[in-house]
Amino acid sequence: MKCIDVDVAIVGAGSAGMSAYKAARAHTDKLVVIEQGPYGTTCARVGCMPSKLLIAAAGTAHVIDGSAGFGIEVAGRRIDGAAVMSRVRRERDRFVGFVLDTVDGWPEAHRLQGRARFLAPGVLCVNDDLRVNAARIVIATGATPNIPAGWRERLGDRLIVNDDVFEWTTLPDSVAVVGTGVVGLELAQALHRLGVRVRLFGRGGRAGPLTDPVMQSAVKAWLQTTLPYSGNASDLDARREGEGIVVEWRDERQAPHREHFDYLLAAAGRRPALSGLDLDKADIPLDDKGIPRFDRDTCRISDTPVFIAGDADNDLPLLHEAADDGRIAGRNAGRYPDVRAETRRTPLNIVFTDPQMAMAGASHGELTSSGVAFAWGEASFADQGRARVMGRNQGVIRVYGDRADGRILGAELFGPDVEHLAHLLAWSIQRGDRVSDALACPFYHPVLEEGLRSALQGLARALRDQAGGSPP
């Protein structure tokens, strides 16, 4: 078996792995990146970018569908599924191409193609014919879709995951979407707006990442009027029937239902892609789910010279978090044993449904479980001026503030284009702004940001009432 010695070995060339490579290379040129699949990152190939391309097409169709409400008649409306998917794939390939250009710019000696697994602490085997002795290792293997046991065997090629959607050459007639997380919500709504018959299945009635009960109620009420939705499906079963599948389930009243679809899209989350790494031979501590125990501020696994970054760590599966993980892990692996904790950015999460969902800073659930004394302010988009002008007056936002000092702690948002409001809030939270600081900033008229001001004003009143006078 051939053998090489390196300072740093990075397993995985996704967003986290690429970021780790750039950071580690600032400290050593004796490193390799090992990738068993195609280069291109999850975001560019099957995640952020192709999904937004599909959502953009769906949004255009929805605008046309709603044009009559503005007194505009659109004749001859037709959705060309082949043309829609041609643009999705074409633009997707363009984004992937940018990533490939970056990888092609790396020295060839830094790129190893193949499957890596641990032989011993600090020792990796690639493709069973190459031994890599690495002084430090970064695990950046990403994540893989969850597929319920037995479904692949029963449904065959009628079972798909989000990766498969973006290889379609046209749109199907019908899709059952199982899972009400970010992927399930985004793709179900997009396909529905593009004329695909969709039913979205969930369990327990929860939909999306928002944790505030008020926000969850708003999301569920919206879903009930947006697309066929079974949020409390039980005894769900799927099987092949002819060229499609049949899904059977019971609703919250235990009434049985049966519906035929072309495909079943499994969107029940993703899990770290760690199987096959033989982590048991790496001498690193694992939790009860088989995930390495690590320090989020250093990305170091216990007191070992092994680091973990991106979706592989099962922490915050978001591109910007993966890139930050990679940067921290790469720096610490590169300059090891000088391991330094780095300040993390304010959490920010966005779901690109319409209305959008977003979270900035601490969530309602996190604040409640932490025991922090907090107040909240709320604003509805139902009568918000700009939202009504656009005919998009749905949703609600809640902003949370510290009762002790008036700092903005977090927010959960559901409404039109709240991606922008969430960014404003995340920046304020990271600066340590108090509610009074945010309200001292300018708000133009008429803009959606006025809805945020209303929520902040409500929060200021709650803090003032608690303080018995002026807010802290």
The three-class DSSP label of residue 262 is coil
Is residue 343 situated within a structural domain? Answer: no
Q: HSE on the CB side for 154, CA within 13 Å?
A: 15
Nearest to 231 by CA among 188, 191, 194: 188
What is the pTM assigned to this prediction? 0.94
Percent of residues, the chain, with pLDDT higher than 70: 99
Respond yes or no on whether the N-terminal peptide bond of residue 107 is cis (omega within 30° of 0): no
Are 129 and 252 part of one and the same domain? no
pLDDT mean across residues, the chain: 95
What digits encode the pLDDT tens for the residues 103-139?
Answer: 999 999 999 999 999 999 999 999 999 999 999 999 9
Domain boundary among 221, 253, 268: 268
Rg (CA), the chain: 24
Is residue 342 situated within a structural domain? Answer: no
Q: Could you tell me how many residues make up the chain? A: 472
The continuous run of DSSP H or E covering 95 comes out as helix 81-104
Is residue 263 situated within a structural domain? Answer: yes
pLDDT (average), residues 388-392: 96
Task: Give the pLDDT score at 1.
Answer: 85
Task: Give the pLDDT score at 326.
Answer: 96
Task: With a cut of 70, say whether residue 469 has pLDDT above it.
Answer: no
Kindly report the CATH number assigned to the domain that includes residue 171: 3.50.50.60
Q: What domain count does the chain have?
A: 3
Give residue for tokens 């969107």. 267
Q: Are 298 and 138 in contact (CB under 8 A)?
A: no
Task: Give the pLDDT score at 472.
Answer: 45
Are 54 and 132 part of one and the same domain? yes
Is the model more confident about 41 or about 228?
228
What digits encode the pLDDT tens for the residues 155-200?
Answer: 999 999 999 999 999 999 999 999 999 999 999 999 999 999 999 9
Angle between the 182-193 and 48-65 helix axes, to the nearest 10 degrees?
A: 40
Task: Give the pLDDT score at 318.
Answer: 85
Identify the domain containing residue 460 by its residue range: 348-467
What digits encode the pLDDT tens for the residues 275-322?
Answer: 999 999 999 999 988 899 999 999 999 999 999 999 998 888 888 999
Task: Give the pLDDT score at 468.
Answer: 55
Using a 10 angstrom Cβ sphere, with 0-12 exposed, 13-18 middle and 19 or more buried, the burial of residue 412 is: buried
The continuous run of DSSP H or E covering 132 comes out as strand 130-139
Are 115 and 163 part of one and the same domain? no
Are 365 and 315 part of one and the same domain? no
Is residue 356 situated within a structural domain? Answer: yes
Are 218 and 180 part of one and the same domain? yes
Is residue 340 situated within a structural domain? Answer: no
Are 140 and 20 part of one and the same domain? yes
What digits encode the pLDDT tens for the residues 2-52?
Answer: 999 999 999 999 999 999 999 999 999 999 999 998 888 888 888 899 999
pLDDT (average), residues 426-441: 98
Is residue 341 situated within a structural domain? Answer: no
Nearest to 151 by CA among 120, 180, 179, 121: 179
Are 353 and 230 part of one and the same domain? no
Residues 269 and 348: their CA atoms lie apart, in Å, by 19
What is each CA distance from 203 to 106, 236, 269, 292, in whole angstroms?
Answer: 45, 10, 13, 29
Q: Are 407 and 467 in contact (CB under 8 A)?
A: no
Domain boundary among 296, 311, 335: 335
What digits encode the pLDDT tens for the residues 309-339?
Answer: 999 988 888 889 999 999 999 999 999 999 9
Is residue 165 situated within a structural domain? Answer: yes
Nearest to 7 by CA among 183, 182, 138: 138
Residues 321 and 221: their CA atoms lie apart, in Å, by 31
Are 53 and 83 part of one and the same domain? yes
Task: Give the pLDDT score at 467.
Answer: 64
Task: Give the pLDDT score at 471.
Answer: 44
Residues 388 and 370: their CA atoms lie apart, in Å, by 37
Are 327 and 406 part of one and the same domain? no
Q: Are 326 and 20 in contact (CB under 8 A)?
A: yes
Are 97 and 136 part of one and the same domain? yes
